[in-house]
Amino acid sequence: MRALAFLLFSTLLGSLLSAQSSANLGEIVRPGEKKELSIAIQASDPMVDALAKRAFTLHGAFRVVSGPADVTLQLRTSGSDTILFGAKTGRASFNGTVTGSDKLEATAMACDDVVERLLGIPGFFAGKLAIVGERSGKKVIFVGDLFFQKMRPLTPPKADSLSPKLSPDGTKLLYTTYAPTGFPDIYEITLASGRATPFATYKGTNTGATYSPDGSRVAMILSSSGNAELYVSRGNGSSPKRLTNNRSLEAGPTWSPDGRNIVLTSDQRGKPQLYGIPASGGSMKRLPTNISGYCSEPAWNPRNPQLIAFTAATSGGFQLALYNTATGKSKWLTSAVGDAIEPAWLNDGRHLLFTSRKNGITRVEIFDTETRRTSPLHSQRFGNSSQANFVMPR
């Protein structure tokens, strides 16, 4: 049935797809040509059409138009979970078929395919998102998609749950919760079953848990020694190894893409600054960001290991900044009204999620580091959101 549907689809697109190729960056968008591509999208299903247009509008490298365009994309549904797509540019054309859990996921996957073939970098539309939302006065962890069409609460509103971190395969999530003891403990929850189990419940504060890029280890901050220190354990929480031993407070670890190093926040100099340390242990060295007296919440770029985003204090509050380890220099990324905090990279290494905080309202937004454009991921009807974490499951 799907083979017949694909044959009919190919015939329908015959005038559009006069030639097929494995289109890539060199064939479609040559470096230095255009930073924004116009794209015309046609879909037989209104929901598919709306999602595809929203996705490409959100990206920043595309401008959705209704007339002549650099790229023409057609999408057709096949059954309830398959999308057939075809795209054409002035140089090449390509088509494909994608099956997801439903037609909306398949649409996101198809759009990701198109982005990668056109730009040479991964798409992020079909990734998994975790955030903290507020319900009944408590902070609850939600998990779902970037378009907030399948967002569901993962933790009950009995006590605050914070700092969600998804596993690389998107099947599990680490978080800090004040239930059931009233003290901050780290729990791990399996997304499919919703079953939560203790991960680190030592005396004192247990927080900041984050998986290594391959999921085999976890970095976290524990204060069982009497001071907040960095530890690295196995992926299941066993055999935690203490990596720091000082009088300062450590927080917010982030892994390098190869899993060999960790950057975290430490107040050794009296105010928070960024420090690096080998993941296997060793001396901790300050990153000379030299942009602010208050630097925290580092996020290591998953595709470019030279880049680390972080939150920095300015005269008017907090904004996102970027440190380049190769040049040793930092630059400001945002200049938003209010605060821009809690950066989290998407898998393409181009976009960041962050928390916008203004007039008592917090909302997760997306930031394009190339165009410097920001866009909210959800309307205010959802309520407050913060602490975004994202993975593209392997």
Angle of CA points 147, 317, 301, to nearest 5°: 50
Fill in the DSSP letter of residue 26.
Answer: H
Q: What are the pLDDT digits (tens) for 265-299?
A: 999 989 999 999 999 999 999 999 999 999 999 99
Contact 289, 332 (CB under 8 A): no
pLDDT(156) > 70: yes
pLDDT(23) > 60: no
Angle of CA points 121, 122, 124, to nearest 5°: 135
Six-digit token pair at 140? 């609850």
- Nearest CA to 51 out of 8, 85, 26, 25 is that of 85
The CATH number of 128-391 is 2.120.10.30
Pick the more confident residue, 247 or 112: 112
Cβ partners under 8 Å of residue 358, min gap 6? 336, 337, 338, 339
* Topology of domain 2-119, CATH: Double Stranded RNA Binding Domain (3.30.160)
Strand pairing category for 339-345 and 329-332: unpaired
Per-residue pLDDT, 135: 84
Q: What are the pLDDT digits (tens) for 226-252?
A: 899 999 999 999 999 999 999 899 999
Per-residue pLDDT, 9: 36
Q: Where in the chain are the domains?
A: 2-119, 128-391
Residue carrying the six token digits 């040479």? 120
- Prior bond of 298 cis (ω within 30°): no
Fill in the DSSP letter of residue 34.
Answer: -
- Does the reported pTM lie above 0.85? yes
Q: What are the pLDDT digits (tens) for 113-149?
A: 999 999 999 999 999 999 999 988 899 999 999 999 9
pLDDT(81) > 90: yes
> Distance between CA atoms of 115 and 91, rounded to whole angstroms?
16
> Distance between CA atoms of 297 and 208, rounded to whole angstroms?
10
